[in-house]
Amino acid sequence: MDITTNSLMGLIAKRMDYLSQRQKVLAQNISNSDTPGYRAQDMKELNFAKALAAQTHVVAPAVTNPAHIAVTSGKSEFGLNRGKGGYETAPDGNSVVLEEQSNKMAQNQIDYATATNLYSKYVTMMKLALRG
């Protein structure tokens, strides 16, 4: 049995691959922080929850009586602020801000460690299940 074909294990592996590629892009931004005209790059956010939801089948309850309570979507009215923040472009056209890139790299490292820990825990769980 190949556990990497499991939907959760496959998603964790994809997440780790995404994070390692993002680390390369962020490192490239930092290495070009003094290059005139260089524009900072980042990868599009990988939505882990959306990918997991696409692989799972959700069964919604049917309302058979108008007096029943309707099921809500569970979405919050609060959204994430994805504004640019206070960072600016340098006079030479370079848009790399080392503080911003350092923050992104630190968050990327935390996300990778979390995915690695989750992968490890899942493997441990599978080993325990196989031992009986």
Give the pLDDT score at 116.
95
Highest mean pLDDT among 21-35, 52-66, 86-100: 21-35
The C-alpha atoms of residue 51 and residue 48 are separated, in whole angstroms, by: 5
The mean per-residue pLDDT over the stretch 76-84 comes to 39
Residue-wise pLDDT for 17-54, tens only, equals: 999 999 999 999 899 888 888 888 888 877 767 766 66
Q: What mean pLDDT is reported for the chain?
A: 77
Q: Which long-range contacts (CB under 8 A, 24 or more apart) does 117-120 make?
A: 118/12, 119/9, 119/12, 119/13, 119/16
The mean per-residue pLDDT over the stretch 66-83 comes to 51
Minimum mean pLDDT among 17-31, 61-75, 115-129: which range? 61-75
